[in-house]
C-alpha cells in the first residue's frame, strides 16, 4: 500500500450539494444511447455480407458431366464441369472442359469403335467402363450421384442393323448402372443422328467463340460481327440483331456433317424441313434470343475411313472388270512405292501399291462423292442433297479429319490456304515411301499414328475434294479454319451435346433467383420500416436524455466552483513526494 498510487475518479456532482442525478444513471443513459445506435447501424453490413457470401458459395458449387463419343474409329470420354447458373435467363451455363493438374484436358480414347462389338454385344460395357473408371478419378466422389453421363454413338453404330445397335445399347444400359452411380437413365445411351451430331458441333464452336453471348463483354465475342436475324413471332415477321455465328464441317471416320445458320426466313422457306433444325438454347420456352435455325445435313459413308473403304472396293471392281484381277492394284492415292494389304467385308485380302499421284488421286475419288446424282432442287452438294448458297463472308470451322489431315503430317492446321495445302499434299504423295517411312521412323511426324501416315495421301485428296467440289467452297475462300482447340478449349461435338442436353438446368436457378429477388425486395421493404421505427425510438431516447441531462445540470454546482474541487486525487507515499518534488501535503490530493 505504501508504495502504490491510488486513483480516484470524483464526479463533479459528488460534492456535498445533494446530487439528484447519481453518476451511475448518467452512464446507464449513455450506454442505452450507444446500444440503440449500434443496434440500428451494425446489422446492415452484417446482413448484406451474409447475403453476399451465401450467394458466392452457391455460385462456386461445381457440377459435373461426362460425355462419351462412341465413334466409328474408337470411343472417347470427355469430362466437363460448370458452376451453378447465375440465374439470369440471358446466360447459358458456363460449361468448361475439365483439365488435369498439368493443365491437359481430361480425355481418354479406346479403340476399336463400339460398333466392333456387333458379334459380341455383352463385352461392349467393359469397353466403356474403362473410360468411366478413368473419368471418375477426376470428379469428387460425393458428386458422382449428381453427375450426368451421356454415352452417344455416331456413324459406326449408325451403319449397324438396328437389332445389333439395340443389343449393344442394352448391354451398356444394364451394366453401367451396376458399377457407377452417375445419372444415366436409359435415354442417356443412344445412337445420335448425323443431324444431331452436326448441330452439336455447331453449338460447341459457337459457344466457345462466345457467339451465343448477348452481352458485349468478352474480347472475342465483342469482336464478332453482328447479324440481322429475320424470324417470325406468332404471325408477324421480326428482325433482331445478334452476333453472327460460324458454320462447321465435321469429317469423322464414318460420316461428314455440315451445319450453318440460316438467318433469313426468305431463304429458309426453300430449305426442305428435313435439312433444317430449329432449336432454342435458352431455358425459357419463348426465348427468341437463343432460338437458332440451322441448315444441317450429314453424309454417312463420306467420312475419311469409310471413303477409303469405298475407294478400295471401287478399285477392286475396276480391276476385276478391266484387268481380270491383276494384283497388286495400282493406287494413285498411296505414296509412291508403298505397299498396302486390306481386308474387305467379305474377308478377302487385296494388295495395293502406291503410285503417289495427288492430282490423279483427286480425280479418282470424285465418283465417290456422287455429284451426278439427280438434284431435285438446286444447288446440290454431295449425293444430290440440296444445299443453300453459302454466304462467303461468314466463317467456317473444320473438325476431326479436317484438323488431323492438315495438322498431323503437314503441320498447317488452323487458317486454311488452298495453295499451301495442295502443295504440301502433292509433295507428300509424290515422295517415295522409302523416304517417308525413314522420316517416320526418325519421329519427324510425332502427331501422326501409323494409320494416319499410311493414308495421309488419300485422306488429304478426299478432304480437299469434299470441301471444294462437294460442298462448293471456292478455292479462294479464306475464312476456313481447321481446329481442334479454340481458345484452349476442345470444340468437339460432345461439348455441344452437353450444352443442348442441359439447357433446361438453369431453369431451376432462374426461378430461384427470381424468388430470391422477391424475398430480398420484401426484406428490404420490411427492413426499411424497422429502421424508421428504430430511428424514431432513438430520437426519442436522445431527446429524453437531453431533457434529463438539462434538469440535472441545474442541480449541479457551476464549473467555477468545481475547479476548486479535486477531480482526481493521488495518495502518495512520502517517497513518491520526494522523488517527484511536488508540493504536497500528506494525505491531501491535488488537481491534475
Number of residues in the chain: 592
Candidate residues 87, 121, 254, 301; the one interacting with ligand GTP per rule CB under 6 A: 254
Q: Is 465 annotated as a binding residue?
A: no
Candidate residues 36, 72, 84, 480; the one interacting with ligand GTP per rule CB under 6 A: 72
Measure CA 551 to chain center.
72
Q: Is 577 annotated as a binding residue?
A: no
Pick 229 or 491: Cβ nearer ligand GTP: 491
Q: Count the Cβ atoms, other than its own, within 10 Å of residue 182.
A: 23
Locus of grid cell 453449338: 203
CA pair distance 293, 262, nearest whole angstrom: 6
CB of 478 to ligand GTP, least distance (A): 25
Q: For residue 404, state whether it binds ligand GTP (rule: CB under 6 A).
A: yes
CA pair distance 259, 298, nearest whole angstrom: 9
CB of 506 to ligand GTP, least distance (A): 29
Residue of minimal Cβ distance to ligand GTP = 71
Q: Which of positions 532-571 make contact with ligand GTP (CB under 6 A)?
A: none
Collect contacts of 536-539 with beta carbons under 8 A, ≥24 apart: 537/36, 538/33, 538/36, 538/37, 538/40
Q: Contact at 8 Å (CB) between 312 and 320?
A: no
Pick 71 or 87: Cβ nearer ligand GTP: 71
Q: Which of positions 422-451 make contact with ligand GTP (CB under 6 A)?
A: 447, 451
Candidate residues 87, 253, 282, 470; the one interacting with ligand GTP per rule CB under 6 A: 253
Q: Which of positions 298-337 make contact with ligand GTP (CB under 6 A)?
A: 303-305
- Verify whether residue 197 is a known catalytic residue: yes
Q: For residue 73, state whether it binds ligand GTP (rule: CB under 6 A).
A: yes
Q: Is 588 annotated as a binding residue?
A: no
CB of 501 to ligand GTP, least distance (A): 18
Helical ranges in 211-295 per DSSP H: 219-223, 265-268
CA pair distance 14, 17, nearest whole angstrom: 8
CB of 239 to ligand GTP, least distance (A): 37
Q: Three-state secondary structure along 553-569?
A: HHCCCCHHHHCCCCCEE
Q: Is 199 annotated as a binding residue?
A: no
CB burial class (10 A; 0-12, 13-18, 19+) of residue 485? middle
Using CB under 6 A, which of the segments 67-75, 219-227, 271-279, 515-523 binds ligand GTP? 67-75
Candidate residues 21, 29, 65, 71; the one interacting with ligand GTP per rule CB under 6 A: 71
End-to-end CA distance of the chain: 21
Pick 192 or 229: Cβ nearer ligand GTP: 192
Q: Contact at 8 Å (CB) between 75 and 127?
A: yes
CB of 194 to ligand GTP, least distance (A): 9
The b-or-e profile of 350-366 (16+ CB within 10 A means b, else e) is: bebbbbbbbeebbebbe
The continuous run of DSSP H or E covering 242 comes out as: strand 236-243
Q: For residue 155, state whether it binds ligand GTP (rule: CB under 6 A).
A: yes
The residues with which 79 forms a beta bridge, in sequence order, are 66
Question: 146, 186, 190, 197: which one is catalytic?
Answer: 197
Could you tell me the three cell numbers for 173?
444400359
Could you tell me the three cell numbers for 423?
502443295
Taking CB under 6 A as the rule, which mask of x and - marks residues 257-276 in contact with ligand GTP? Answer: --------------------
Count of residues engaged in binding ligand GTP, rule: CB under 6 A: 20
**DSSP count for the chain of H helices, then E strands:** 18, 21
Taking CB under 6 A as the rule, which mask of x and - marks residues 447-466 in contact with ligand GTP? Answer: x---xx--------------
Pick 157 or 513: Cβ nearer ligand GTP: 157
Pick 67 or 513: Cβ nearer ligand GTP: 67
Peptide bond into 2 cis (omega under 30): no
CB of 157 to ligand GTP, least distance (A): 8
Q: What is the C-alpha radius of gyration for the chain, rounded to an integer number of angstroms?
A: 40
Pick 287 or 313: Cβ nearer ligand GTP: 313
Binding-site residues for ATP, in ranges, read 253-257
Binding-site residues, in ranges, read 253-257
Catalytic residues: 197
> Can you give the binding site for ligand GTP, defined by CB under 6 A?
71-73, 154-156, 252-255, 303-305, 400-401, 404, 408, 447, 451-452
Amino acid at each position: 500500500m505504501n508504495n502504490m498510487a491510488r486513483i480516484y475518479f470524483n464526479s463533479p456532482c459528488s460534492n456535498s450539494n445533494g446530487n439528484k442525478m447519481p453518476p451511475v444513471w448518467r452512464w446507464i443513459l449513455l450506454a442505452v444511447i450507444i446500444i440503440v445506435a449500434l443496434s440500428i447501424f451494425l446489422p446492415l453490413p452484417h446482413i448484406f455480407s451474409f447475403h453476399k457470401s451465401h450467394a458466392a458459395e452457391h455460385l462456386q458449387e461445381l457440377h459435373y458431366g461426362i460425355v462419351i463419343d462412341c465413334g466409328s474409329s474408337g470411343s472417347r470420354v470427355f469430362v466437363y464441369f460448370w458452376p451453378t447458373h447465375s440465374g439470369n435467363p440471358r446466360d447459358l451455363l458456363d460449361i468448361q472442359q475439365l483439365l488435369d493438374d498439368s493443365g491437359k484436358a481430361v480425355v481418354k480414347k479406346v479403340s476399336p469403335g463400339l460398333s466392333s462389338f456387333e458379334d459380341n454385344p455383352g463385352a461392349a460395357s467393359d469397353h466403356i467402363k474403362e473410360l468411366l473408371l478413368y473419368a471418375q478419378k477426376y470428379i469428387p466422389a460425393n458428386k458422382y450421384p449428381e453427375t450426368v453421363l451421356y454415352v452417344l454413338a455416331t456413324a459406326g453404330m449408325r451403319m449397324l442393323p438396328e437389332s445389333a445397335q439395340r443389343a449393344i445399347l442394352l448391354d451398356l444400359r444394364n451394366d453401367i448402372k451396376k458399377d457407377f452411380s452417375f445419372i444415366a437413365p436409359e435415354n442417356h445411351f443412344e445412337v445420335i443422328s448425323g443431324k444431331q451430331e452436326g448441330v452439336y458441333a455447331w453449338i460447341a464452336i459457337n459457344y466457345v467463340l462466345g457467339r451465343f453471348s448477348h452481352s458485349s463483354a468478352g474480347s472475342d465475342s465483342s469482336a464478332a460481327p453482328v447479324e440481322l436475324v429475320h424470324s417470325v413471332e406468332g404471325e408477324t415477321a421480326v428482325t433482331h440483331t445478334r452476333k453472327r455465328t460460324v458454320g462447321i464441317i465435321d469429317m469423322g471416320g464414318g460420316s461428314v456433317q455440315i451445319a450453318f445458320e440460316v438467318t433469313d426466313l426468305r431463304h429458309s422457306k426453300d430449305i426442305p424441313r428435313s435439312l433444317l433444325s430449329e432449336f432454342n438454347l435458352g431455358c425459357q420456352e419463348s426465348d427468341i434470343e437463343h432460338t437458332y435455325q440451322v441448315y444441317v445435313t450429314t453424309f454417312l459413308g463420306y467420312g475419311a475411313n469409310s471413303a477409303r473403304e469405298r475407294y478400295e472396293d471401287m478399285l477392286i471392281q475396276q480391276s476385276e472388270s478391266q484387268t481380270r484381277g491383276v494384283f497388286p492394284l495400282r493406287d494413285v492415292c498411296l505414296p509412291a512405292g508403298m505397299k498396302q494389304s486390306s481386308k474387305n467385308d467379305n474377308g478377302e485380302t487385296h494388295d495395293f501399291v502406291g503410285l503417289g499421284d495427288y492430282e490423279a488421286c483427286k480425280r479418282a475419288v470424285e465418283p465417290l462423292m456422287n455429284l451426278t446424282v439427280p438434284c431435285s432442287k438446286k444447288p446440290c452438294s454431295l449425293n444430290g442433297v440440296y444445299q443453300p448458297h453459302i454466304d462467303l463472308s461468314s466463317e467456317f470451322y473444320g473438325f476431326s479429319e479436317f484438323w488431323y489431315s492438315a495438322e498431323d503430317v503437314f503441320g498447317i492446321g488452323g487458317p486454311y490456304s488452298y495453295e499451301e495445302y495442295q502443295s504440301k499434299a502433292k509433295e507428300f504423295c509424290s515422295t517415295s515411301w522409302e523416304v517417308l517411312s525413314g522420316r517416320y521412323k526418325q519421329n519427324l511426324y510425332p502427331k501422326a499414328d501409323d494409320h494416319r501416315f499410311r493414308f495421309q495421301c488419300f485422306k488429304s485428296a478426299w478432304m480437299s475434294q469434299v470441301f471444294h467440289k462437294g460442298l462448293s467452297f471456292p478455292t479462294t475462300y479464306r475464312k476456313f479454319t481447321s481446329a481442334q482447340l479454340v481458345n484452349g478449349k476442345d470444340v468437339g461435338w460432345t461439348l455441344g451435346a452437353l450444352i443442348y442436353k442441359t439447357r433446361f438446368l438453369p431453369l431451376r436457378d432462374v426461378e430461384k433467383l427470381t424468388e430470391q429477388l422477391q424475398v430480398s425486395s420484401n426484406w428490404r421493404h420490411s427492413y426499411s420500416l424497422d429502421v424508421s421505427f428504430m430511428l424514431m425510438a432513438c430520437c426519442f431516447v436522445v431527446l429524453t436524455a437531453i431533457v434529463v441531462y438539462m434538469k440535472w445540470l441545474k442541480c449541479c454546482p457551476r464549473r467555477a466552483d468545481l475547479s476548486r474541487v479535486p477531480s482526481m486525487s493521488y495518495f502518495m507515499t512520502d517517497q513518491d513526494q520526494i522523488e517527484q518534488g511536488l508540493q504536497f501535503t500528506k494525505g491531501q490530493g491535488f488537481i491534475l
